[in-house]
Structure 1
Amino acid sequence: MKKSKINFTLYTLIAFLFLGNLSISYAQNKSVSYSEREQAQYNYSYSLGVQAVVYGWAPVMMDVAKVLQTSVDQPMNNGQAPINEFGPITRLWDYRDRSYTTPNNDTFYLQGWCDLEEQPIVIFVPEIKNRYWIMQIVDMYTESVVDLCNATIGEEGGYFVLAKKGYTGDLPENVPVYYSSTRYIWLAGRLGVENEKDLKIARDLQKQFRMMPLNQYPNGGVQPEPKNIEGAPKVEFPAGLDWFKRLDQVLAENPMPEDVELVDSFKHIGIGEGSIDGLNEVQKEALKAAFNDGFQIILDAAKNSNTAVNGWNWEFNAGIYGTDYLSRAAINMNSIGLNSPERAMYPKRYVDDQGIQLNGENTYEITLPAHIPVRTEVGGFWSVTMYDAKDRFMVENEIDRYKIGSMTEGLKRNDDGSVTIIISNKKPKNKKMRANWLPAPADDFMLQFRLYEPEEVIYKGEYELPQLYKIEK
């Protein structure tokens, strides 16, 4: 499987909009009579607006998640917690949870948002053996800061310092230090849960993680008992001019020096000037159109990005994007803060073997081999999860099954050890097939495979998942 990636940079986008697609901006304004100067102003603001949407999609998503998840005065059992505190999610997420797209149904989450402006943060990781876990840490642009897990630090755990680049104060001796480019960072912890019997053991481990400001090291950060609350809060994502205002705020709080030339160009549309409300009506209309078209560009990339093999789309550059802003936007539209390939791979698909959108009115099957190359010695495992195609959240179903994976109990295997999964909205008539049934919504859906701690053959693009076929009911 040959790897490729989106290299449709913002500079390519400029050329595309100005040289090949000016008709878009003109077409959207046939009902408006603009002077020659106003039309030129509209076109330039529109072009900058589309660039800003592509560049800023990921950091705005992160900021929306940060505000949503930290707007409480104590930790909640749905993952919310104040800044610089852990929020434990004490059950496997399902259709009720809509804080961010494509959450998993495989692990407990333990998440937190840190503010590194005043001083570094120290986290403590307990000893964890024979279990998948990761503390994934990303900056506000979803660039990887570090992944702490058994594969990178071993089973013993310990203390780890997180600091903002440029910090010059004293740090504890013999404690690893990791630096972020941005003031705010997201700690997305995951702890594998094998079955119902394993829930209590996993919760006890989850409670042992601690987060503390440097001045409370080494004894701070004991997790208080979280407040019980039903379900995760629903995200409200800004649109139109409100989205550009949010971007202006996020860039001011989390500037990236290496992007200064590009970001400075956005001053023409009020970003960096704090003056979006002061733009004229022509510019405002251009930005509204730019948001809509920028969204469609990112959505198309999200559905078709990177390498497609047997209908599965693979992402090989998550967590390290550089100037590939469209890949960053597309990957985060699908799954915010996607893990680096060495830690997990997330091939997804929207279509069947004929390239037709998956829909629950049909019946599909896929036969997975007996062995899928994940590193079980460090807790690796696999799963495939069902999501609604439009919003990419899990869907309620009659048997409360949202995924099938290597830890799913009761699966029926074929004689050669392979597993045939049946996917449909209606329960299979054949009782033997029901053990391997993954329920689908009645409408369009997508599937996301998860390969936790994949072997090298996977993240180097040398492994193929089998095709998924539409079959007769």
Structure 2
Amino acid sequence: MNRRDLLAMAGALGFAPGFAARSALAAGDPIAARDAYLYALPLIEMATTRARLLKAPGAAVNKLTHTRALSDHTARWVTTPNNDTLYSPAFLDLTKGPVTLVIPPMGKRYYSAAVMDMFTNNNVVLGTRTIGGEGGTFTLVGPGHASTGPNPVRIATPHAWLLIRVLTDGGEDLAAAHQAQDGFKLSGPAGGPVAAYAARDAKPEDYFATARALLASDPAPATDLRILRRSAAFLGAGPYDAAAAADGVQQAKMITIFAKGRQVFTGGWAYPRPTLGDYGQDYIYRAIVALQGLGALPVAEAMYLKAAGDDGAGVFTGDGPYRLTLPAQLPLDGFWSLSMYEATADGQFFFTDNPLKRYTIGDRTAGLKRNADGGLDIWIGRADPGGDKTANWLPAPKSGPFALYLRAYLPRPELVDGRYRLPPVVKV
């Protein structure tokens, strides 16, 4: 059977396009290079974020640092930040033994402490939803180590990212939120030195060398053996053809930029896949989220909904005004917010500067004008809509493409399973 017959059979079995089932992939096959690039992208993005965070004054491995202000247009340390919670990140090194996390009593204030392995899977989310507001002490344990500490939590890779979110309304509430942050404690063996790694825009040979180094530091699970064998020329010992590598990397970058066929918009919104935050073998989705929303929580904790935009694929290019009309209460047990992001050329999203210094509108935003039924009209555009509409204006960038994301924390089952759908954003 020749290669064309193998590909035809793969298609008939439903394995193509995407990560096609092939009995053999030569080191000169750009498809193998494409798949290898996408598979390794979450590792690359995690390493890049770790390096960026460790440059902050006082930052170190196995040490919490606290952001004391809500993210604004100057925040560029992670794509699609939120403007609802204060972050307290720490990159973990569990190679020398477990690390202890103390969570203080939080009362009714929303919080989450997510621990992601280096493949960006949420191994655990300790927070309002899972352990309540009383706090506790937890022992984070890496592969190959035992734990005699309280409440052991097994982490899938020797290195990981702890990302704590603490809800605040800002302003007068910041002091109390800072006190809550300070109650989180992290202790354990000092982390080892962190090597320098190439970023996603590196030359293919440097990218794949970094991917191999990261896989040696944080081995893949056995359930990924199939793709690792298929991409062994690029993610393993090699060798591989340089031209095929360059071609495959270019294909992969186009996938991450356009994400064609991977986002389905229903009624004007793209809803997250059930695998968000714990991806299994959905490697393309995992890669796209690593680029566009690194650190995303699983859907049981939060849903990230993207508006379809003018192009039907998630990007707005018009001046507006646009309107989003929401009911008085969305089906959730937490809170919601609609965030405005300027879109970068490489597919990432960041808050945009604006005259109101307003980056989100949500159910906790002060001064909003509600309709007679308690519902809310949110006005979106580059220019102030004027009059009473100004109170509900979410400013868009002065120029260039932008995107809208709605976050729904602690969503109820009808939102998670699709029985409830958001109304669309409409051009007025």
TM-score by length of 1: 0.79
Alignment correspondent of 2:217: 253
1:194 aligns with 2:169: yes
* Counterpart amino acid of residue 330 in structure 1: I
CA 1:236–1:425 in 2, change beyond 3 Å: closer, same or farther? Answer: farther
1:63 aligns with 2:63: no
How much identity, in percent, do the aligned residues show?
31
Give the whole-Å Cα distance in 2 for the aligned partners of 1:196 and 1:109: 16
Q: 1:153 aligns with which of 126, 131, 156?
A: 131
Give the whole-Å Cα distance in 1 for the aligned partners of 2:72 and 2:22: 40
Give the CA deviation at 1:194.
Answer: 1.7
* Counterpart amino acid of residue 370 in structure 2: R
CA 1:136–1:356 in 2, change beyond 3 Å: closer, same or farther? Answer: closer
Alignment correspondent of 1:128: 106
CA contact (8 A) 2:70 2:170 kept: no
CA contact (8 A) 2:314 2:403 kept: no
For 1:359-374, list aligned pairs within 5 A.
359-374=317-332
Alignment correspondent of 2:116: 138
CA contact (8 A) 2:96 2:189 kept: no
1:400 aligns with 2:357: yes
For 1:259-338, list aligned pairs within 5 A.
259-269=224-234, 271-273=235-237, 283-301=241-259, 305-315=262-272, 316-338=274-296
1:239 aligns with 2:171: no
* Counterpart amino acid of residue 180 in structure 1: I
Give the whole-Å Cα distance in 2 for the aligned partners of 1:9 and 1:110: 43
Alignment correspondent of 2:18: 13
Alignment correspondent of 2:416: 459
For 1:64-213, list aligned pairs within 5 A.
64-71=48-55, 74-75=57-58, 81-168=59-146, 170-172=147-149, 175-213=150-188
* Counterpart amino acid of residue 297 in structure 2: N
Give the whole-Å Cα distance in 2 for the aligned partners of 1:9 and 1:243: 30
1:424 aligns with 2:378: no
CA contact (8 A) 2:327 2:375 kept: yes
User: What per-residue deviation string (whole Å, max 9, x for no partner) do you get for residues 78-107 of structure 1?
Assistant: xxx210000101100111011121001111
Alignment correspondent of 1:414: 371
Give the CA deviation at 1:150.
Answer: 1.7
CA 1:49–1:253 in 2, change beyond 3 Å: closer, same or farther? Answer: same
* Counterpart amino acid of residue 171 in structure 2: E
Give the whole-Å Cα distance in 2 for the aligned partners of 1:300 and 1:262: 23
* Counterpart amino acid of residue 198 in structure 1: D
Give the whole-Å Cα distance in 2 for the aligned partners of 1:410 and 1:13: 48
CA contact (8 A) 1:319 1:340 kept: yes
Gapped regions of structure 1 (runs ≥ 5): 1-7, 19-39, 76-80, 216-234
For 1:337-352, list aligned pairs within 5 A.
337-352=295-310
CA 1:171–1:149 in 2, change beyond 3 Å: closer, same or farther? Answer: same
Give the CA deviation at 1:289.
Answer: 2.0
Aligned residues: 401
Give the CA deviation at 1:165.
Answer: 3.0
CA contact (8 A) 2:27 2:233 kept: no
CA contact (8 A) 1:10 1:51 kept: no
Give the whole-Å Cα distance in 2 for the aligned partners of 1:193 and 1:470: 32
CA contact (8 A) 1:101 1:336 kept: yes
1:383 aligns with 2:361: no
1:50 aligns with 2:14: no
CA 1:201–1:374 in 2, change beyond 3 Å: closer, same or farther? Answer: same
* Counterpart amino acid of residue 336 in structure 1: L
- Worse-superposed segment, 431-440 or 190-199: 190-199
Give the whole-Å Cα distance in 2 for the aligned partners of 1:90 and 1:9: 49
Give the whole-Å Cα distance in 1 for the aligned partners of 2:378 and 2:403: 15
Give the whole-Å Cα distance in 1 for the aligned partners of 2:229 and 2:312: 45
User: What per-residue deviation string (whole Å, max 9, x for no partner) do you get for residues 373-415 of structure 1?
Assistant: 221xxxx110000011233111111110000001100000011
**RMSD of aligned Cα (Å):** 2.5
User: What per-residue deviation string (whole Å, max 9, x for no partner) do you get for residues 40-64 of structure 1?
Assistant: 97752x1211010121121211111
- Worse-superposed segment, 354-363 or 135-144: 354-363
Give the CA deviation at 1:356.
Answer: 8.5
CA 1:126–1:287 in 2, change beyond 3 Å: closer, same or farther? Answer: same
- Worse-superposed segment, 144-153 or 359-368: 359-368
CA contact (8 A) 2:323 2:379 kept: yes
User: What per-residue deviation string (whole Å, max 9, x for no partner) do you get for residues 200-245 of structure 1?
Assistant: 1101111111100179xxxxxxxxxxxxxxxxxxx96433323222
* Counterpart amino acid of residue 112 in structure 2: I
CA 1:320–1:190 in 2, change beyond 3 Å: closer, same or farther? Answer: same
TM-score by length of 2: 0.87
Give the whole-Å Cα distance in 2 for the aligned partners of 1:408 and 1:184: 37
3-state SS of the aligned residue for 1:83?
A: coil
Give the CA deviation at 1:332.
Answer: 2.1
Give the whole-Å Cα distance in 1 for the aligned partners of 2:215 and 2:16: 20
3-state SS of the aligned residue for 1:160?
A: strand
CA contact (8 A) 2:44 2:199 kept: no
3-state SS of the aligned residue for 2:246?
A: helix
